[in-house]
Amino acid sequence: MSFAQISVLAAVVFAIVSPIAQAVFGIGLTASQFSQAGDATLRAAGYAFSIWSVIYAGLIAYALYQAAPRQRSAPALRSLSWPAVAAIFGTGLWIWASALNERWASVLIIVISAIGLTWALSRVSRAAPETKLRGHILAWWPLCLLAGWLTIASVLNILTVLTAEHLIEAGSRVFAIGGLAVALAVVLVVLGRPRLWPYGLPPAWGLVGVYVAERDAKPDVASIALACAVVIAASSAWQGMVFWRRQSRG
């Protein structure tokens, strides 16, 4: 097993154990407590974060799949391994940064993780040969789900920290809508590659969570979030159909 393969396995273990250890030993703030300090500008309903159970399951599948001896020489997996390690490790590191209330560190960690993995997926998807469906399900899709969630979470994290640091007015509709616009633009650009169609699912899910959380206090922001979710879901579905047509042609 190569060092990169071992590193992926270690990163996944660290990412999954970190929130468990933080909760069991009661170290610092919970992720919810950390967010509450600045979530007046834009927030998602608590249930939206249950997507982590799906993401973790996918990462376990990816870690085991890429660890197989025959995958050691797979070009796409080799190209994705280190960006994946950085992003997966970053999810665990974010837990500790938020627990210690290191606000700007949390922003740096999540943004670097999101950009690094998303850029790698986009770059490799252009050059990598077509992959069998199993490879998509066990490698590409888990990483797309992680990258997609990190994208929308980055927007929420940035607005949370800016609000908590009193750099923007709490509840600012301008910044809330601006954040939604940035998220929409980034996701639609990435979804230009049919192979990456699952990337849009977590942002759509998260934006529905924003709608649920904000529909009473800020109905205008909530409506825009829901509209963004619909656009992203439609784009993801379209690219998914393109992907499946290509797969069916062999």
Domains of the chain: which residue ranges? 3-249
Find out whether 71 and 132 touch, Cβ atoms under 8 Å. no
pLDDT in tens, 65-115: 999 998 888 889 999 999 999 999 999 999 999 999 999 999 999 999 999
Q: What is the spatial distance between Cα 198 and Cα 204, in angstroms, rounded to a whole number?
A: 10
pLDDT in tens, 118-149: 999 999 998 766 678 888 999 999 999 999 99
Which pLDDT value is given to residue 92? 98
In this predicted structure, the answer to whether residue 186 has a pLDDT above a threshold of 70 is yes
Top-confidence residue, 244 or 105: 105
Question: How far out from the chain centre does Cα 63 lie?
Answer: 17
pTM passes above 0.85? yes
Instruction: Name the nearest CA neighbour of 236 among 167, 113, 152, 166.
Output: 152
Query: Alpha helices of 128-249 — where are they, by DSSP H?
Result: 133-135, 141-164, 173-190, 201-214, 219-249
In this predicted structure, the answer to whether residue 250 has a pLDDT above a threshold of 70 is no
Segment 190-206 shows an average pLDDT of 97
Question: In whole numbers, what is the pLDDT of the chain averaged over residues?
Answer: 96
Which pLDDT value is given to residue 133? 86
In this predicted structure, the answer to whether residue 1 has a pLDDT above a threshold of 90 is no
Top-confidence residue, 70 or 210: 210
Q: Would you place residue 202 in the very low, low, confident or very high pLDDT band (cuts 50, 70, 90)?
A: very high
CA–CA distances in Å: residue 123 to residues 23, 56, 130, 174: 37, 24, 14, 33
